[in-house]
A = this chain, B = another copy of it.
């Protein structure tokens, strides 16, 4: 999935912008719930803290996932989360936007992500297709139809724009837009675009308060592994 996301990012950037896809070394292959999201956040922050090559910006590519504020503390380069990025562009394109995502259980996280970002007022709703993240690549036709169906519910409820509520759906935004006749916004391309703009304009995270660098302190490594979890 990381490579699909990277391909989507590369398609969106200017010539000369290099995309460096990074996958945490531990955590979860896909985040489908709060527990997953918090593990994912920590694993991403761990990765960022050990980053040994310079980057000019970071895109957090988990839709509705936690961690962006921690990344803003850790880094001096801009950090963009694809949830906020998709919503920001959607605001420019229609009066109300909806998010269409995978499992219903992730709706709460996405809503909280938008609420804390201050971007919930013009959200017409968060719709779930019922597909899991890893299912999305098995049957692209079924996947596309499920997203179209949810989008139509959203439009009936007043949405004029749809945000794809997950990453790595190569070309789905374009196909949906053609079928629905409305703009469909992908978060990864939105985020890399915003990152490029901030970098070019020498704008980065404010370090005077909330996102000041983390205080020096011992942070202890896990003495026991996070074992695999099966139920």
Q: Which residue of B lies closest to A191 (CB)?
A: B92
Chain B, Cβ-Cβ closest to A185: B203
Using Cβ atoms and an 8 Å threshold, which residues of chain B touch A200?
12, 193
Set B42, B91, B211: member contacting A95, Cβ < 8 A:
B211
List B contacts of A116 (CB < 8 A).
112, 115-116
CB-CB under 8 A for A214 and B229, given A41-B42, A118-B119 = yes
Q: A219-B28, A226-B220 are in contact. Are A93 and B38 (CB under 8 A)?
A: no
Does A139 reach chain B (CB closer than 8 Å)? no
Q: Which stretch from A73-81, A142-150, A164-172 is at the chain B interface? A: A73-81
A sample of 29 cross-chain residue pairs with beta-carbon separation below 8 angstroms, ordered by A number, consists of A14-B14, A26-B221, A26-B223, A27-B219, A34-B210, A36-B217, A37-B70, A38-B41, A38-B66, A38-B70, A46-B222, A79-B92, A88-B91, A89-B197, A93-B198, A93-B203, A93-B204, A94-B210, A105-B212, A158-B209, A160-B210, A182-B208, A183-B204, A185-B203, A214-B231, A216-B229, A217-B229, A219-B227, A219-B228
